[in-house]
Structure 1
Amino acid sequence: MLPTPIINDIDYDRVYEPSEDSFLLLDCFEQEQGTLQSKLKGKLPIITEIGTGSGIVTTFILQNILQNGVYMTTDINPHACNQVLQTLKANGQNNKVDSLQMDLTGAIRSNLIDILIFNPPYVPAEEVPDIPDSNDDPTWLDVALLGGEDGMKITWKVLRNLDKILSSDGIAYILFCARNKPESIQEYMQSSGWKVDIILTRKAGWEVLSILKFYR
């Protein structure tokens, strides 16, 4: 088993704490290690995690899976953007990742990303919360959790733009809960020309989580 990154001094009131979904992503990339290293051999890949939270996933991939790559992380939450840099520093990986405050992949050039990772706000809710107006707002954590109807409002923004986000041979790893209806998403994306694999599925408390892999 590959080592889990050290996490220090997280403000749990504003930054998503590593949980079962985070650790499922770590297990996913440990399982995909050989595939990714073989596919990207001789290439300097662009690797982007959307919604980094604590930074545990990006740090794990950088430490253990793809040591040679250009890493850009994004989060709308400024506290998360700072936290990912702290986590990288705690694990001896400072100055190797650009942490960008933005909505999804907004300002990143089209068809640039080779590996995309997204643990979205997947919890169903009546609506997606508004982006707070100030860094001191106590509702930043809600933005990381609540995904509107079926928990899919934010995730669909990414899925419908994958063709513009990913490079020609890019791969996206996206996490879903059972209430997001991942089987239906798999069928829809396949009918739109994407190849979709279910990499891992795991019961986590009262929830069932799955990671789907999307590629051309």
Structure 2
Amino acid sequence: MLPTPRFSCDYEKVYEPSEDSFLLLDALEGEQKFLQSFFTSKLTVVCEVGCGSGIVTTFMIQNNIPSEHAIYLPTDVNPWAMDSMVETASLNNCCTEMLSPIRTNLTRSIRRREIDLLVFNPPYVPAESVPHMPAESEAKEGDWLDLALLGGDDGMVITWKLLDSLDEIMAPGGVAYILFCARNHPERVVEIMSTRGWKSELTEHRKAGWEVLSVYKFYR
């Protein structure tokens, strides 16, 4: 079993790694051999959407996932997550020369068809609506955390924005790993994505407290 990275973040401003984060780490560990054989010598662009504390991207850097020839472009709308990402990587003695965190909404600041490997632990908790983006000067304690948790109707509003853009953002032969809870109805998502030409595989599935979580791989 690969070690879990140490992490650094202000829990009042940045989502603290929890069962969903660790499930995603387990999924990536289980897919390590596949990814390292799939992405061999080419320079690979890796994007973790919503990097938060940076634990997932740091895990990938530590373990050459998908390969030693990779650049990492983690994104988050939360300005505090940018600092946490760099601090977590440094705390684990990761080389940061190939790490470039980007503060942006989803993948908006990344060029089209650029991403080879995408990882997303979305705000998946069902809620009446998706929280509005707070102004930094007016943000209250917990505002940034709500953005990381609440996903609107069925918890899928933000996830569908990403899924709907996969054809535009993924490089040819790209692979995406996305986490769902049971209330997101991932089986229905898989059916819809299959009509768009995306194959999928369930890579991890686990009951975590009151929730059932799963990680699916999407690829062409």
TM-score of the aligned structures, taking structure 1 as reference length: 0.97
CA distance in 1, matches of 2:97, 2:46: 15
Q: Which amino acid aligns with 2:196?
A: S
Aligned to 1:152: 156
CA contact (8 A) 2:175 2:217 kept: yes
| Residue aligned with 1:59, SS | helix
CA contact (8 A) 1:61 1:67 kept: no
CA distance in 2, matches of 1:164, 1:212: 19
Aligned to 2:43: 44
Cα offset, 1:211, TM superposition: 0.5
| Residue aligned with 2:118, SS | strand
Aligned to 1:88: 89
1:134-173 to 2 correspondences below 5 Å: 134=136, 137=139, 138=141, 139-173=143-177
CA distance in 2, matches of 1:67, 1:32: 15
1:109 corresponds, among 103, 108, 111, to: 111
Structure 2 residues without counterparts, runs of 5 or longer:
none
| Residue aligned with 2:108, SS | coil
Cα offset, 1:68, TM superposition: 2.5
1:22-41 to 2 correspondences below 5 Å: 22-41=21-40
- Is 1:12 matched with 2:5? no
CA contact (8 A) 2:47 2:115 kept: yes
CA contact (8 A) 1:78 1:135 kept: no
CA contact (8 A) 2:52 2:76 kept: yes
- Is 1:207 matched with 2:208? no
User: What percent of counterpart residues are identical?
Assistant: 54
CA distance in 2, matches of 1:20, 1:84: 19
| Residue aligned with 1:121, SS | coil
CA distance in 2, matches of 1:150, 1:50: 20
The 10-residue stretch of structure 1 (169-178 or 63-72) with the greater mean CA deviation from structure 2: 63-72
CA distance in 1, matches of 2:58, 2:204: 20
CA contact (8 A) 1:117 1:173 kept: yes
CA-based RMSD of the aligned residues comes to: 1.0
CA contact (8 A) 2:70 2:98 kept: no
Q: Which amino acid aligns with 1:90?
A: L
Cα separation, partners in 2 of 1:55 and 1:135, compared to 1, 3 Å: farther
Cα offset, 1:135, TM superposition: 5.4
Q: Deviations over 1:105-126 (max 9, x none)?
A: 0011100000000000000000
Cα offset, 1:192, TM superposition: 1.4
1:45-64 to 2 correspondences below 5 Å: 45-64=44-63
CA contact (8 A) 2:54 2:85 kept: yes
Q: Which amino acid aligns with 1:131?
A: M
| Residue aligned with 1:98, SS | coil
Cα offset, 1:96, TM superposition: 3.0
Cα separation, partners in 2 of 1:58 and 1:38, compared to 1, 3 Å: same
Cα separation, partners in 2 of 1:184 and 1:192, compared to 1, 3 Å: same
Cα offset, 1:58, TM superposition: 0.4
Q: Which amino acid aligns with 2:119?
A: I
CA contact (8 A) 2:41 2:69 kept: no
Structure 1 residues without counterparts, runs of 5 or longer:
none
Cα offset, 1:154, TM superposition: 0.3
TM-score of the aligned structures, taking structure 2 as reference length: 0.95
Aligned to 2:69: 68
Cα offset, 1:81, TM superposition: 1.1
